[in-house]
Structure 1
Amino acid sequence: MSISTKGGDRGKTSLWSGERIAKNNVRVEAYGTIDELNSHLGEAKHYVKLEKVKEIIEGIQHDLFRVGGSLATVGGFSKPVEKYHVDHITNMVHELEKEFEFKGFIVPGMTLQSAKLDIARTIARRAERRILSLADETEISEEVKKYINRLSDLIYLLARLEEKAEGKLKLEEWK
């Protein structure tokens, strides 16, 4: 079976649950942004130097299949984001925060690997906005909304870990 079905030639795509919708529908924009985020995290994974960060990124990538699947499904998705996924990344954020004393603003991208992660972080924030736009039209799981909200914080901290490991963490005080 070819991946080129020609089914989208007229501007429609199929959801995971089978419905056909316009490719520019807010739902497609939401799960498409999750796909974009996953791809950028995949790229960042090849640049990061800390094994711990690589492992966390890979876990996030697997979770993003759940997020994307939930967004691409009308009704319940068979492998949804659960409370324990949200709790897991929330706990990681709290643990990683202990490594830093943030006073001021971070200058993004002080290393190549943190720059890649900072791009992913901003895509995560855009994904959250797209998901909230979709939530204005239809019910979206609270776990999906919480997960994507925590995710940009986690990616931010991963970028800072990479900078700290190389002694390149730079804080700018707001004047």
Structure 2
Amino acid sequence: MGNRLSKIYTRTGDDGSTGLADGNRIAKNAQRVEAMGMADELNCHIGVLIETLPSGDRLIDTFRRIQHHLFDLGGEFAIPGSKVISDNHIEWLEQTLDEYNTDLPPLKNFILPGGCPAAAQCHLARAVCRRAERVVVALGHEDSINTASRHYLNRLSDLLFVIARVLARRDGSQEILWEQKKPGL
């Protein structure tokens, strides 16, 4: 990468535009920029989640891999027409999801975000992932996208849900079940 980021401020975005990796400039509130930002925001939430885990936790490696994928995803959005996320990424998510889901009991109720700090942060990352997916769907309505990227986010939100369940149940913690109330209560 060299000295590519030797100067952090350029003032080129002061007019409300930003540069894409292909050299084109677009409005900072364009759907493509929103997708790039959502990948970054989700990556940040995963980073916070990692910091809630004890050193050596095997989930850290899983989350670090996801962070690399999310950085690649943001780069993909920064270069219209590029394809970085592939079916291999989705297959890895599905295999990882199956691995973590194996020992969980079937859900009979909805669960509330929480159970322990790591599970709550994982649920927050899941919610942000769902928002990122909605942004990518909207981008796909106005511009061509790599559909594998949309599939990746859909599968990632499922994985984050399952891992939140794992985190809430381990070390003596518990999942918090939603209690359906009768009308008027």
TM-score, structure 1 normalization: 0.93
**2:17 alignment partner in structure 1:** 12
1:87 aligns with 2:91: yes
Structure 1, unmatched stretches of 5+, are: none
1:161 aligns with 2:166: yes
**1:145 alignment partner in structure 2:** 150
CA distance in 2, matches of 1:151, 1:76: 20
- Asked if structure 2 preserves the Cα contact closer than 8 Å seen for 1:108 and 1:115, the reply is yes
**Aligned counterparts, 1:64-75, within 5 A:** 64-75=70-81
**1:99 alignment partner in structure 2:** 103
Given residue 130 of structure 1, which amino acid in structure 2 is its aligned partner? V
1:57 aligns with 2:63: yes
Structure 2, unmatched stretches of 5+, are: 1-5
CA distance in 2, matches of 1:170, 1:122: 17
1:76 aligns with 2:76: no
CA distance in 1, matches of 2:147, 2:134: 14
CA distance in 2, matches of 1:157, 1:17: 37
Give aligned pairs, total. 173
**1:172 alignment partner in structure 2:** 178
- Asked if structure 2 preserves the Cα contact closer than 8 Å seen for 1:125 and 1:149, the reply is yes
CA distance in 2, matches of 1:169, 1:75: 42
1:37 aligns with 2:42: yes
- Asked if structure 2 preserves the Cα contact closer than 8 Å seen for 1:48 and 1:114, the reply is no
Tell me how far 1:173 sits from its aligned partner: 5.3
Tell me how far 1:105 sits from its aligned partner: 0.9
CA distance in 1, matches of 2:43, 2:30: 20
Tell me how far 1:26 sits from its aligned partner: 0.6
- Superposition CA RMSD, Å: 1.4
Tell me how far 1:95 sits from its aligned partner: 2.1
CA distance in 2, matches of 1:18, 1:11: 16
Q: Secondary structure at the match of 2:26?
A: strand
Tell me how far 1:87 sits from its aligned partner: 0.4
- Asked if structure 2 preserves the Cα contact closer than 8 Å seen for 1:103 and 1:171, the reply is no
Tell me how far 1:174 sits from its aligned partner: 4.1
Name segments (4+ residues, structure 1) moved above 6 Å: none
TM-score, structure 2 normalization: 0.88
Q: Which has the larger radius of gyration?
A: 2
CA distance in 1, matches of 2:152, 2:51: 24
